[in-house]
Chains A and B, each alone.
Chain A
Amino acid sequence: MRLPEPRQPHRHRLNRPRWEPRPAGPSPTYVIPSTGHYPPAHSEREADQAPARTEHHMFRYLIRRLLSAAVIILVISAITFLIFFALPSNPALLACGKTCSAARLAQIKAGMGLDQSLATQYWEFLKGFFAGRTFGDASVKIQCNFPCLGISFKDDTPVFSTLMGRFPADLSLALGSAVIFLVVGVGLGVVAAVKKGSWIDKLAVTGALVGVSLQIYFVGLLLMYVFVDKWQILPTPGYVPITRTSASGSRG
């Protein structure tokens, strides 16, 4: 079956860059001529006007993007917040201990602020992120400063510092994968584009599709099984701090 002709009306607009490209004129020169004077005024103005317009557009673009990013973060935080409450979880009960009386449970619930309305709790969370919050109202105060993501009901440490504790591992994974996707991904992409329709193009596109469709928790286990358990080419993965040695760091 043939696909219907794709409609084209927006194609041109979509392909146009959002801001004007730098015009192909004489580029400004910063070499001071032997005369000791700056280049002629007209050429300087001509060269500078276009970038000024570009920067203006760029600025607006950035503002727009930052604003939409902030809205998205807000929406995501609200949804995450709601999901937490939609799930059958009860932090007060988990914190309470094995033999938990109703009175004790109510006391801990109030202590955690879980007796407040959802809207109040979310507002406190948002406000606390910027303004900081004080926990431990019933005992010794624990200050949680900006950016305050709350404190863990399990170990009473600020969530932000827990995240930061894990950050080096995230960073090393991100850097490692960036190297791979930049070199292999972009490289294959370029080759596929240049040799359109060739077997290498098809292979790259198929590979990309498979990679996108199958999730890491599936592919990861599969790769571990093949490389570690079956062929025993690689050791069992474990995290080695990136600061230690680069060779063992790439194992993780």
Chain B
Amino acid sequence: MMRRTRAAALLATATALVFSATACSSSGSGGSSSGGGSVVKGGTLTYLAPSDFDYTDPQRTYTTEGQSMDEELVRSLTGWQEPVDGSAPKLVGDLATNTGVASDGDTVWTFTLRPGIKYQDGTAVTSYDVKYGVERFFSSDITGGPGYAQEFLADTTGYTGPFQGKSLSSIVTPNASTISFHLNQPVADFNETTAMVGWSAVPKAHDTGANYSTGLWADGPYQIQSYQRGKELILVKNKYWSQATDPIRNQNVDEIDVKMGMDRSAIDQELEADGTSAQDSIQEWPLAGSDLTQIANDPALKSRYHVIKSPGISYLAQNMNTIKSLPEREAIEDAINKETARGAFGGQAYGDYATTMLAPGVDGHKDFSLYTSNPQGDIAAAKALMAQAGPAAVKTLSLAVENTTTQTNFADTVKASLAQIGITVNVVPVDQANYFAILDNTKNQYDLTWMDWIPDWPNASTVLPILFNGAQIKQLPQSNQDISYLNDPAVNAQIANIAKMTDINAANTAYGNLDEQILKDASVVPLFYMNFSELSGGNVQGLTPDPINAELNLAHVWLKNG
């Protein structure tokens, strides 16, 4: 699960669809429609990145950009089919023939591999390689990746990975094309977990351990030609990849050239100017907040401007340990002026005002608004609540934000909002590079904390149980995600209940209600359903916003003058 640097996911619902459809049709109007059969093959797509990926090793990458790039190199058991017309992403079998078969009350999941999928050397991908790949998650050298294998698989105690020849008994491979996972609990959406790139095949003979990021052995449409960490990654076509076996990707461009280390605003400017060198380029990071308003409103850039509706939420956590008065927390909910706050992040293009923790694209989302629905806030109501809180109200609060201009500007708007109800805010800017590592440590508690969250796959199960399970505070003192320190027995019990449900629709309904139950504690102020905005060069076609990874999808990309 990712805080920003943006690891994975959402499903586009109605609102998201309208938006992505608009973005898509506008880019289509600029030239030949990408879906219209006029796709040109060839050319080199340039991918401008401020820095290197965390990892390309599929079991280690845990950022949205790493996951998104890996999807061109590696095929996971399941995956998200995202058509060029911008219609909703659909879960399909990728390595597997279908989205998996659950048995024993969602505790056993079985996948059958498609025939004909080959690595870059022409050898066939087997279920044994997938088992080996998933087992890599457990090695102490294969760090950084998601913890779902450890969390869900049965009988993992003491298991330390496949490198000393040990294998995991809960992954069963009766033949080269079948693989079953035995879980320690029912997981109704396990086949969405397996859409993350780590649930993929690694051939033992080509595994270079901690150096696998540069030596990755591809079975996707592209393979690594050269990789200088921190400088440049060049991908070329995997000639053994076959379109007939792949329901998700195309192989249009000849080469993808990732150039690393450029200044973020220099990338924004280069793409905006669309000079010769930028015309075949796309950008890794979204447009910076300071550039956003102007670029979003420039009609000349419309055909190259993409809005990606992420399933993510930007919010303000209220510390239950220090702001103990419920009326005071409710007053803060009402007092925050989300309009000025959003201005600091780049205005309307940054996202819609949020009133729930589950974004509209997340399965389980329920539309409700417990506090004022006026984005400017309701100071009168907030003052009344403060009066109700009386002497129990804490009048001086600390507020942690990243030490960037965008975030300190945002902090100033919160300060101004709360000054109106008699609360003094002390802003604490925290080092951006280590922001989440610092705030996730229970030693570092502030009264108010800015946070964001992008789920790994578009289900409430990757949001609420992680952000609000009070039982986890003690278990993960250094990587606590319950930043408001909510430890409500009723909420904890309901999280445990829903985890046991095998009917995914019933679980989703229950999650929607849980979201509302959590907001009654006023432990978080939902701010915005985050969007990410990016520019692409004038020749780049076939880009679709990928609301799962919150990135531009490279699966169908092609170049006009390729």
Q: Does A80 contact B (CB under 8 A)?
A: no
In chain B, positions 149-166 with a C-beta closer than 8 Å to chain A are 150-151, 160-161, 163
Q: Given A135-B210, A136-B210, A140-B208, are A98 and B143 also a contact pair (CB < 8 Å)? A: no
A111 near B140 (CB under 8 angstroms)?
Answer: yes
Q: Which of A155-171 contact B (CB under 8 A)?
A: 155-157, 162, 165
A240 within 8 A of B: no
Q: Nearest B residue to A157 by beta-carbon distance? A: B229
Select the stretch in A101-109, A119-127, A184-192 that faces chain B: A101-109
Size of the chain B interface, CB-CB below 8 angstroms: 41
Q: Is B230 an interface residue (CB 8 A)?
A: yes
Known A138-B161, A155-B230; judge A98-B476 contact (CB<8 A).
no
> Of the candidates B147, B211, B437, which one forms a contact with A104 in the assembled complex, judged by CB atoms under 8 Å apart?
B147
Q: Please report the C-alpha to C-alpha distance between residue A129 and residue B209 in the assembled complex, in whole angstroms.
A: 22
Does A68 belong to the interface (CB within 8 Å)? no
Q: Tell whether B139 is near chain A: CB-to-CB under 8 Å.
A: yes
From residue B443, how far is it (CB to closest CB) to chain A in Å?
Answer: 8
CA distance A107 to B150 in the complex (A): 12
Contact of A99 among B211, B437, B481 (CB under 8 A): B481
Q: In the assembled complex, how far is the CB of residue A231 from the closest CB belonging to chain B, in whole angstroms?
A: 21
Q: Are A97 and B62 in contact (CB under 8 A)?
A: yes
Closest to B231 in A: A165
Which stretch from B1-9, B217-225, B300-308 is at the chain A interface? B1-9
Judged by a CB distance under 8 angstroms, whether B213 is at the interface is yes
**Shortest distance between the CB of B242 and any CB in chain A (Å):** 30
A140 and B1 contact, Cβ closer than 8 Å, known pairs A96-B479, A97-B143, A100-B476? no
Q: A108-B143, A142-B209 are in contact. Are A93 and B478 (CB under 8 A)?
A: yes
Partner of B478, one of A90, A103, A139, A153: A90
Contact (Cβ within 8 A) B144 A95: yes
Q: Are B163 and A139 in contact (CB under 8 A)?
A: yes
* Residues 186-238 of B at the A interface (beta carbon under 8 Å): 207-211, 213, 229-231
**Given the complex, which residues of A lie within 8 Å of B230, measured CB to CB?**
155, 162, 165
Residues in B whose Cβ lies below 8 Å from that of A102? 475-476
Whether A93 pairs with B437 at a CB distance below 8 angstroms is yes
Report how far A151 CA is from B211 CA in the complex, Å. 11
Are B478 and A100 in touch, CB under 8 angstroms? yes
Q: Which residue of A lies closest to B212 (CB)?
A: A140
Interface centre among B55, B139, B213 (most CB of A within 10 A): B139
Residue of B nearest to A137 (CB): B141
B150 touches A96 (CB 8 A): no
Check if B142 is an interface residue, CB within 8 A of chain A: yes
Kindly list chain B residues whose C-beta atoms are within 8 Å of the C-beta of A99: 1, 146-147, 151, 466, 476, 479, 481
Note all chain A residues with C-beta closer than 8 A to B150.
101, 103-104
Looking at A139, A140, A153, A155, the one whose CB has the most chain B CB atoms below 10 A away is A139
Closest chain A CB from B142 CB (angstroms): 7
A105 touches B478 (CB 8 A): yes
The verdict on A110 contacting chain B, using a C-beta distance below 8 Å, is: yes
Residues in A whose Cβ lies below 8 Å from that of B151: 99, 101
Q: Which residue of B lies closest to A95 (CB)?
A: B143
User: Does B412 sit within 8 A of A, measured CB to CB?
Assistant: no
Docked Cα-Cα span, A93 to B446, in Å, equals: 21
C-alpha gap A232/B531 in the complex (Å): 36
CB distance from B473 to the nearest CB of A (A): 13
CB contacts (< 8 Å) of B512 on chain A: these are: none
**18 A-B residue pairings within 8 Å (CB atoms):** A93-B437, A93-B478, A93-B479, A96-B143, A97-B146, A98-B440, A98-B481, A101-B150, A102-B475, A104-B150, A111-B139, A111-B141, A136-B210, A142-B209, A156-B211, A157-B229, A162-B230, A165-B231
Listed in ascending order, the chain A residues whose CB lies under 8 Å from chain B are 90, 93-105, 107-108, 110-112, 135-142, 151, 153, 155-157, 162, 165, 238
Contacts A99-B479, A101-B147, A157-B211 supplied; 7 other A-B pairs, CB < 8 Å: A96-B144, A99-B1, A112-B140, A138-B139, A139-B207, A153-B143, A155-B213
